[in-house]
Amino acid sequence: MLSSSTVTLVVNTLAASIVISYVSVTIVLPYLQREKTRDSDSSANTGKSTEKRPSGHPGATSTNVGAVDRNSNSSSSSKAGEGGKQAQQEQELKLELELEQEQEEPQEQHKYFGFVRPNPFTDSLPPSDAAFKAFPKLTGNLELQATVGITQRHRMTLQIPRLLELFENNLKGKLAMALTTREAIDRKEFFETWEFFERTKDNLKCSNGAKTLVEVAGGHGLLGILCAIFKKERFDQVVIADITRPPSYDAVLSCIAEVCPWVVDKVTFVEADFTKTPGLLPRGCAIACVHGCGELSDVVIQTATEAGVASVALMGCCYMNSSAAWASPEAVKMFLGVNVAAEVQRTIRLEAAGYKVTWKHVPRAITPMNRIIIGRRLSEGEGEAIGKKRAEKEKKKVEKKRKKAAAKAAAAAAAAGNAKESVAK
């Protein structure tokens, strides 16, 4: 008789082998089968997964070719004999080799997929630069730029060595001297604003009898105040709009009261959120905005064009937060940078609203966000006139080219005729 423990052992062993067989048949074998099929699939294509390739990529086309080939192989193998099968295999091998070679060019492949690409958050074009116009002695003089601290967020002060070398004995020099003596404004903002003013003073104009300049996000307000002083024939009202009225604004204003008191009454500070303050822009006015962060510059453009301002000048910053940047084509953002993408989009928006747009730059040594977009509203019919003039110019160019080509052909024909004649003689 078998003992009860022996019976239990036999029963357990039998149960275990049944379970193992079941698992092998239902799970392991189908899995191995699937793996085998996948291996043969991928080796027939590229030897590696091509899942990610977009359909336009040469690799994708080749993959399809491989697939077609494989199908034709299976269908033709029954018809063709051993020789045909061998030819198919050779063909497959050739394709595989071609695809492997293609994969050995990681640069191309990476470039295509965009793994290696410029940082989308920086301006990837060569930096645009400009000479110093307001204080020309700074151009090319890195030592002087560093000594006076053109990028420093510290106040202008008489303690700065060599600063006075920059100031001439005129109204501009006197004003600069007052701002320095009163330590009214940071050095970076002083140089940046003055350079911005030099580049836009001839573009900021009103129309339809308006005489108002609105400086949005004006902060210290120096730009608007410079316009009120040096472009007094154009502006009898300057509005500085900012969410907060900083102490630097009052400091700048007291310098103005000292040097050119006739300007003080022309300047008003509106402490308000520009995006929530409609009616700030009288029709035909001019609008400026220095470093309106991110979306603010977009809002300025939209509000300005809707209000029909005569001219606009703005220098953006913090482009990452700008809807204009994110509305731009992906490729432009990736390869030209978000900053340029935003500027292009803003330019398109201004042009679409009937403005003629140009770009200028302040010296890059002051700020890398140095591009100024300047727009002038075209008068009625002016846009069409410009288009017509361009088209006429283009037509003349084509006609000139055609005439030149005809003259060349005639000369060649004459030369050929002469050669024939001399041979005949």
8 Å CB contact between 46 and 104: no
Pick out residues in 54-113 that bind ligand SAM (CB under 6 A): none
**Binding mask 240-279 vs ligand SAM (x if CB under 6 A, - otherwise)?**
-xxxx----------------------------xxx----
CB of 194 to ligand SAM, least distance (A): 11
CB of 57 to ligand SAM, least distance (A): 44
CB of 301 to ligand SAM, least distance (A): 14
CB of 318 to ligand SAM, least distance (A): 8
Query: By 3-state DSSP, what share of the chain in percent is helix, strand and coil, each rounded to 5?
Result: 60, 10, 30
Pick out residues in 22-61 that bind ligand SAM (CB under 6 A): none
Decide whether 44 or 280 has the Cβ nearer to ligand SAM.
280
Point out which residues pair with 186 in neighbouring strands: 155
CB neighbour class for 376 (10 Å; exposed up to 12, middle 13-18, buried from 19): buried
Closest CA to 160 of 169, 152, 168: 152
Decide whether 217 or 341 has the Cβ nearer to ligand SAM.
217
Judged by DSSP in three states, 22 sits in: helix
Q: Is 422 in the site for ligand SAM (CB under 6 A)?
A: no
State the Cα–Cα distance between residues 27 and 325, nearest whole angstrom.
53
**Binding mask 153-192 vs ligand SAM (x if CB under 6 A, - otherwise)?**
------------------------------------x---
8 Å CB contact between 372 and 130: no
Number of residues that bind ligand SAM (CB under 6 A): 15
Q: Which two structure tokens, joined as six digits, stand for 376?
A: 């002038």
Q: Is 353 in the site for ligand SAM (CB under 6 A)?
A: no
Q: Is 228 in the site for ligand SAM (CB under 6 A)?
A: no
CB of 243 to ligand SAM, least distance (A): 4
Q: Where are the beta strands (DSSP E) in 203-329?
A: 212-216, 237-242, 267-271, 286-293, 311-317
CB of 244 to ligand SAM, least distance (A): 5
Closest CA to 51 of 42, 27, 199, 130: 42
Pick out residues in 192-221 that bind ligand SAM (CB under 6 A): 217-219
Q: Is 360 in the site for ligand SAM (CB under 6 A)?
A: no
Q: Is 116 in the site for ligand SAM (CB under 6 A)?
A: no
Q: Which residues contact 47 (CB under 8 A, 6 or more apart)?
A: 96, 99, 100, 103
8 Å CB contact between 367 and 150: no
- Among 60, 65, 293, 327, which residue sits at the site for ligand SAM (rule: CB under 6 A)? 293
Q: Is 123 in the site for ligand SAM (CB under 6 A)?
A: no
Site stretch for ligand SAM (CB under 6 A), options 57-65, 167-175, 287-295, 386-394: 287-295
CB of 248 to ligand SAM, least distance (A): 9
Q: Is 316 in the site for ligand SAM (CB under 6 A)?
A: no
112-139: buried (b, 16+ CB within 10 Å) or exposed (e) per residue? Answer: eeeeeeeebeebbeeeeebebebbeebe
Decide whether 269 or 274 has the Cβ nearer to ligand SAM.
274
Q: Which residue is nearest to ligand SAM (CB)?
A: 217
- Among 199, 205, 291, 377, which residue sits at the site for ligand SAM (rule: CB under 6 A)? 291
8 Å CB contact between 322 and 297: yes
State the Cα–Cα distance between residues 155 and 51, nearest whole angstrom.
59
Decide whether 135 or 274 has the Cβ nearer to ligand SAM.
274
Tell me the one-letter amino acid at 246. Answer: P
CB neighbour class for 78 (10 Å; exposed up to 12, middle 13-18, buried from 19): exposed
Decide whether 39 or 250 has the Cβ nearer to ligand SAM.
250
Where do contacts with ligand SAM occur on this chain (CB under 6 A)? 189, 217-219, 241-244, 273-275, 290-291, 293, 296
